Amino acid sequence: MININNFLSGHKVSNIEKNYFHDYTNNTLAVSNEIIKRFLEEFGGASFSGGLFRIHTKGSMYIWSQLIDEFFPSYNKQYFLFGYDWMGRHYGISKNPFNEKVYMFDDSTNEVYELEQSMESFFNEDLVDYCDDTLNTSTFSLLENKDLTADKCYSFKVPLFLGGTDTIDNYSLIDMMVSWELNYQIVNKIKDFKDGQLINKVKFNSEKTLTNYPLN
């Protein structure tokens, strides 16, 4: 079991939702990584500092792994998810025991960031000493609703990959799965666009292409 005492001393549990995608829990009983398995058993469903950072349940880890594999196919099955932040960005560790790193999957930028460090260092250093740089706590503190439920996040009204700005007026409280679905559809529509090509309308396709999992 990893030691995250430094993180726990700076971030208090504000809520615990162990039923988030509970119906899918049995799909992850055979998690091969003992660190992740024990971590989710102890902290799964916990929300820290009003939703600033949240820990996956076994069920939500399973569901979101499927979604992220589709959004970022080049990372398919290369990681174990463990948490997500108030912006709906998901975090996982590499399955490669000889290449210790933390992945951050960001639908708003359509990018995956790789942090060359252990999961323990991520919690006790990045989320403590460099918390504002990592989680943009200065912006989070300005939001009206700072007690997020497990399925909600603050998403950009105009995604950063479309030129949206990282300003308080560009954030909107939304169902996290809807946010990822919208960005997934936009990314797939514009992937063949030429530089400078304009978009004058965005229409949500209710027959989703990301997955057939129900919006929660």
* Rounded CA separation 46/22 (Å): 14
* Rounded CA separation 213/140 (Å): 29
Q: How far apart are the first and last CA of the chain?
A: 31
* Rounded CA separation 67/73 (Å): 10
pLDDT of the residue at 71: 95
* Among 98, 96, 71, residue whose Cα is nearest residue 80: 96
Least reliable range by pLDDT among 90-99, 119-128, 166-175, 188-197: 188-197
Instruction: List pLDDT tens digits, range 88-145.
Output: 999 999 998 888 899 999 999 999 999 999 999 999 999 999 999 999 999 999 987 7
CB-based burial label for 109 (10 Å; 0-12, 13-18, 19+):
middle
Contacts of 9 (CB under 8 A, 6+ apart): none
Please name the residue that has the structure tokens 């479309």. 162
Q: How many residues does the chain have?
A: 216
Q: Taking all residues of the chain, what is their mean pLDDT, rounded to a whole number? A: 86
Cβ atoms of 84 and 91 closer than 8 Å: yes
pLDDT of the residue at 213: 43
CA atoms within 13 A on the CB side of 61: 31
DSSP letter at 196 equals T
Is the confidence at residue 215, as pLDDT, over 50? Answer: no
pLDDT of the residue at 203: 54
Determine the structural domain holding residue 155 and report its residue range: 1-216
Tokens of 140: 């989070």
* Rounded CA separation 88/109 (Å): 12
Tally of domains in the chain: 1
